[in-house]
Amino acid sequence: MTYKGLVGVTVSALMLAACAAAPERPEAEFSRAQTLIQAAEQQGAQEFAGAELESARRKLDQAGIVADEGKGEQATRLAQQAAVDAELAAAKAAAAKARKAADELDRSIETLRSEAVRNQT
């Protein structure tokens, strides 16, 4: 084998090894986290769970950065953490909305009681 042939084979082998070793971008985890963040936003998480929503966004952004650096496992973990933070934000928003509705219902009931007492006298 000639020198050029050996160099060509070596370069080809190195390129193949680099491609095989590069971890894939965790698209499923990225997509799930993004979907959950959007759902939390639609449920009012910005108002009721802003810190958790912002944490989810930051972790997803960081996951993208480390994925671009070839750190697939770390990117997967960050995307999964972002999804959990988004789920927490959505749950807190739902709980806050339910609490708000219950408070309004309590006020309405108290108003009706006051009117009923007033009408009896």
Range 28-48 average pLDDT: 96
* Residue 92 · residue 45 · CB < 8 Å: yes
Distance CA 73, CA 58 (A): 17
For residues 22 and 68, the model is more confident at 68
Tokens 């990225």 locate to: 30
Model-level pTM?
A: 0.72
Average per-residue pLDDT in the chain? Answer: 86
Closest CA to 45 of 82, 93, 87, 13: 93
| Predicted local confidence at residue 15, as pLDDT | 58
Residue 119 pLDDT exceeds 90:
no
With the C-alpha atoms ordered 47, 51, 54, 59, is the resulting torsion angle positive or negative?
Answer: negative
Q: What is the CATH number of domain 25-120?
A: 1.20.1270
